[in-house]
Amino acid sequence: MTPPPSAPAKPPRRQDRPLALVNARIVDPASNRDEPGGVLVDNGIIQEIGARVTRASAPENAEILDCRGQVLAPGLIDMRVQLREPGEEHKETIATASLAAAAGGVTSMVCLPNTEPIIDDVAGVEFIARRARETKRAKIYCYGALTQGLEGKDLVEMALLADSGALGFTDGIKATGDVQVMRRALTYARSFDLLVIQHPEDPRLAAGGAMNNGELSTRLGLPGIPAYAEVMMIERDLHLVRGSGARYHAAHISTAAAVEAIRKAKQEGLRVTCDTAPPYFSLNENEIGDYRTFAKLSPPLRGESDRRAIAAGLADGVIDCIASDHAPHDVESKRVPFAQAEAGIVGLETLLPISLEPHHKGAMSLLAALRCLTARPADILGLPQGRLSKGAPADMVLIDLDRPHKIDVAKFRSKSKNSPYDGRPVQGCVLKTFVDGRLVYSLEGER
């Protein structure tokens, strides 16, 4: 059974002997620490951190890793991933997603409930927990469906699923469109302090749409989804949050209007958080070009003004988190006419380098950029990970912050390769990833 949100999903074994990571640049957004030092790990737990951890101070039997001044940060927490297992293993499996996560520096991820069968009962939650233990790489959690069968009608037994380990409740890639259903969900969730996550897009306004509504969609002859479909759903939900006092999270926001709505809600003191995904601050609708289906997302890529607003929302802290929105699809799902293609891209292995772009461009400090990937999602989800501190799980990533390279989808560990970033020059890469002190990925081992 998956542990409750207060405890990490633990692999069955940890490192065999103490591990001392020395000569590192420790970057811990939870404590605003950015300084030279080291980390001592034993039995999967951080025992000591800071300048006192050196080669000379390490226990005699410790394994020593010289970090050579590279950035040592908490492992990334990806709060929005589609695993495809069970039901669509030809697109992705828990094993291949875990490989991709480790290579991307992701040590904890939370999967959406839109599997086959849907995660709307305890058995579904327990299946994910069992497969995560068998895989022994990234820690894998799940959300429970908000409504039975993701049909938007009858609520699931939210408290029961939460007791079994579900970290929140969402209808995944579908919006909960019925206002009465959402009202009941938020009222129920408030009684147990549960998190409700919305795909904010008015279903009727988005119905049949293939891309952002505007001049480009008209020129391409594609049905458009208006940007206001997003903020209309958010503003409707905020009225319900105001009445219920529940915790509400808007997923993958993509518009300037959504940023402003969330900003005002936070100023009002509502219990509201949100995330975005790398495409919404690094790409715009022009990426679609001549019907490029690898650039079809849900919500769709927006215009340049919205892209800039999302980037600004990250920089000023209105947007809490960056999630990969990992949505693997096979070739057959993408190599079809644009309007018929499935929406979504793979994102686990590009999450870190794309998220570092605002830092390299001077728009965000390193602490601020990494905070969106570590401490903030951990706090929202109630996880003890996402921080480098004594007593915390030793989930860590060693990063070469400045190493330039080009994204190569042919080298992805993910089973699917649907990414618009192929060939994109980026800066920064994962050198090593540790889960509970165990090395689960090393760039050196890839060569």
Q: Which of 42, 171, 275, 325 is catalytic?
A: 325
Question: By C-alpha distance, which of 387, 407, 437, 373 is closest to 106?
Answer: 373
Name the segment(s) of the chain with CATH classification 2.30.40.10: 19-72+394-446
Name the segment(s) of the chain with CATH classification 3.20.20.140: 75-381
**Is 330 part of the annotated catalytic residue set?**
no
Question: By C-alpha distance, which of 391, 443, 374, 441 is closest to 27?
Answer: 374
Question: By C-alpha distance, which of 252, 339, 256, 325 is closest to 296?
Answer: 339
The pLDDT value given to residue 22: 98
Class of domain 19-72+394-446: mainly beta
Q: How many angstroms separate the CA atoms of 96 and 102, rounded?
A: 10
Say which CATH architecture domain 75-381 belongs to. Alpha-Beta Barrel (3.20)
Q: What dihedral angle (degrees, nearest 10) is formed by the CA atoms of 201, 207, 209, 210?
A: 80
Helix and strand counts by DSSP (H, E) for the chain: 16, 19
**Residues 327-344: tens digit of each pLDDT:** 999 999 999 999 999 999
> What is the mean predicted confidence (pLDDT) over 8-23?
70
Place of tokens 């001592």: 40
Start-to-end CA span in the chain (Å): 37
- pLDDT category at 388 given cuts 50, 70, 90 is very high
Of the listed ranges 12-26, 79-93, 97-111, 398-412, the one predicted with least confidence: 12-26
Provide the phi-psi class of 393: left if phi over 0, else alpha when psi is between -120 and 50, else beta.
beta
Q: How many angstroms separate the CA atoms of 447 and 441, rounded?
A: 12
% pLDDT > 70, the chain: 96
